[in-house]
């Protein structure tokens, strides 16, 4: 029997790379793909528990999963600890996630402004209540995903990690930016090392600006974190979870993956697959030499049969055997 790389509460985790939750990107098909390629577990796109309480259908789609994808984590986003706890209990009963994560990182104005996401980092009482109440409401482990703080004058990740852990958090993912630092500025990894040193017995997951397998290795080595979460770089290179650069992936594999993902997205959501699929199609084809006209034709095609045929044709033209 192979030993897990680490555990979260009593859940064995195999692997040190994890797909970061990404609204509009980490859907069920993409998560399953990355799990098959080596991502150690899956986290849902955020579930706005206010919308969930109002029975918004789209929130439930985000909890679609399969046995193969487990461990599967449902991520909650809100500014109300009681509503989060009620929602966590309902999600646990209906969808049986293996863990519940609390989003303390989303910096969108509409979210942070109402005190949810990274807005939670300005409100230690909410952090304490959310972890305490959600941990009481569910049987599965609760985890946190946070930033360094609200802004550079309030770097309180150590204090809030402590509050979260005291109130039940079993792992902490840290994105090395504050809520006010844009993606244009580099993420800081040193605080990830500080967090690991402060909590040697708690799984710490580092996140921010891991673009290549070498970056992932470096973050693990430099910070001592237990695992690395990879977000934006995974969209064009899901193979990063097999420790491969995009250039190391054969055209044949890219072609087969593209078709598989399209079919899987169609199976999951037949009415609404084409639009969200386009961003992956573009990302997968960008490094290939195809004309602008061909790319435009693919990205504007609204008919699934025609699109499938066109994708096959384009990849055959590039040399794939389909
Ligand atoms: C398009 C997009 C959507 C995101 N959605 C979420 C989300 O739903 N929940 C969350 O915790 N973080 C979300 N994030 C943040 C990522 O999980 C991650 O922390 C961030 O992108 C930094 O990692 P990276 O440098 O590897 O991309 C999102 C990021 C992007 C780019």
Domain residue ranges of the chain, discontinuous segments joined by +: 6-243, 250-318
In the predicted structure, residue 129 carries a pLDDT above the cut 80: yes
CB 179 within 8 A of CB 151: yes
Q: Decide: 192 in ligand 1 pocket, CB within 6 A.
A: no
Residue 6 is inside which H or E element, if any?
A: strand 6-8
> Counting beta carbons within 10 angstroms of the beta carbon of residue 276, is it exposed (0 to 12), middle (13 to 18) or buried (19 or more)?
middle
CA of 115 to the centre of ligand 1 (A): 18
User: Which atom of ligand 1 lies at the shortest distance from residue 230's CA?
Assistant: 26
What's residue 37's pLDDT?
98
pLDDT category at 50 given cuts 50, 70, 90 is confident
CA-closest residue to ligand 1 atom 29: 22
Q: Whose CA is nearest to atom 23 of ligand 1?
A: 208
**If you measure from the C-alpha of residue 222 to the centroid of ligand 1, how many angstroms do you get, rounded to a whole number?**
22
DSSP single-letter state for residue 103: E
Residue/partner pairs of 228-231 with CB below 8 Å, 24 or more apart? 228/16, 228/17, 228/18, 229/18, 229/19, 229/20, 229/173, 229/175, 229/205, 230/17, 230/18, 230/19, 230/20, 231/19, 231/20, 231/22, 231/207
207 lines ligand 1 (CB under 6 A): yes
The pLDDT of residue 229: 98
Rounded to 10 deg, the angle between the 157-166 and 190-198 helix axes is 40
pLDDT at 289 (0 to 100): 87
CA of 140 from ligand 1 middle (Å) equals 23
- Per-residue pLDDT tens for 262-271? 999 999 999 9
What dihedral angle (degrees, nearest 10) is formed by the CA atoms of 10, 224, 127, 94?
-40
Closest atom, ligand 1, to C-alpha of 207:
23
Q: Is the CB of 22 under 6 A from ligand 1?
A: yes
Q: Report if pTM > 0.95.
A: yes
Task: Assess contact for 98 and 140: CB atoms under 8 A.
Answer: yes
Closest approach atom of ligand 1 to CA 117: 11
Q: Whose CA is nearest to atom 26 of ligand 1?
A: 231
For residue 73 and ligand 1, the question of a CB distance below 6 A is answered with no
Q: Which of 209, 152, 204, 207 is CA-nearest to residue 179?
A: 152
| Reported confidence tier of residue 285, pLDDT bands at 50, 70, 90 | very high
Nearest to 26 by CA among 285, 261, 184, 260: 261
In the reported structure, the alpha carbon of residue 2 is separated from the centroid of ligand 1 by a whole-number distance in angstroms of 31
Q: Which of 23, 104, 174, 178 for mutating ligand 1's site (highest number of atoms within 8 Å of CB)?
A: 23
Fold of domain 6-243: TIM Barrel (3.20.20)
pLDDT classification of 304: cutoffs 50, 70, 90: very high
**pLDDT reading at 182 higher than 90:** no
Round the average pLDDT of the chain to a whole number and report it. 96
φ, ψ at 281 (rounded to 5°): -55, -45
Residues designated as active site: 106
Nearest residue CA, atom 3 of ligand 1? Answer: 22
pLDDT of residue 70: 97
Instruction: Please tell me the distance between residue 18's alpha carbon and the centre of ligand 1 in angstroms.
Output: 12
pLDDT score, position 131 = 98
- Taking alpha carbons only, the member of 114, 100, 2, 125 closest to residue 46 is 100
> Does residue 21 have its Cβ closer than 6 Å to ligand 1?
yes
Instruction: For ligand 1, say whether the CB of 206 is within 6 Å of any of its atoms.
Output: no
């Amino acid at each position: 029997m192979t030993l897990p790389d680490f555990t979260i509460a009593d859940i064995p985790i195999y692997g040190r790379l994890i797909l970061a939750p990404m609204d509009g990107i980490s859907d069920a098909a993409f998560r399953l793909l990355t799990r098959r390629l080596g991502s150690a577990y899956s986290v849902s796109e955020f579930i706005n528990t206010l919308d969930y309480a109002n029975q918004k259908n789209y929130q439930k789609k985000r909890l679609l999963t399969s046995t193969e994808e487990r461990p599967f984590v449902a991520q909650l986003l809100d500014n109300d600890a009681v509503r989060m706890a009620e929602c966590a209990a309902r999600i646990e009963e209906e969808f049986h996630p293996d863990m519940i994560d609390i989003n303390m990182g989303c910096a969108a104005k509409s979210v942070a402004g109402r005190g949810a996401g990274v807005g939670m980092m300005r409100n230690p009482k909410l952090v304490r209540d959310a972890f305490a109440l959600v941990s009481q409401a569910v049987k599965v482990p609760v985890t946190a995903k946070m930033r360094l703080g609200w802004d550079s004058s309030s770097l309180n990740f150590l204090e809030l990690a402590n509050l979260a852990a005291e109130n039940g958090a079993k792992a902490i993912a840290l994105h090395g930016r504050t809520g006010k630092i844009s993606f244009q500025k580099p993420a800081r990894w040193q605080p990830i090392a500080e967090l690991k040193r402060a909590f040697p017995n708690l799984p710490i997951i580092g996140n921010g600006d891991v673009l290549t397998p070498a970056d992932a290795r470096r973050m693990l080595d430099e910070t001592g974190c237990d695992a690395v979460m990879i977000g934006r770089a995974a969209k064009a290179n899901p193979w990063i979870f097999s420790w491969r650069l995009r250039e190391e992936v054969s055209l044949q594999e890219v072609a087969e993956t593209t078709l598989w993902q399209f079919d899987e997205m169609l199976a999951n959501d037949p009415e609404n697959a084409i639009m969200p699929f386009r961003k992956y199609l573009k990302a997968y084809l960008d490094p290939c030499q195809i004309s602008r006209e061909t790319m435009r034709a693919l990205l504007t095609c609204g008919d699934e049969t025609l699109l499938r045929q066109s994708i096959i044709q384009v990849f055959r033209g590039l040399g794939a055997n389909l």
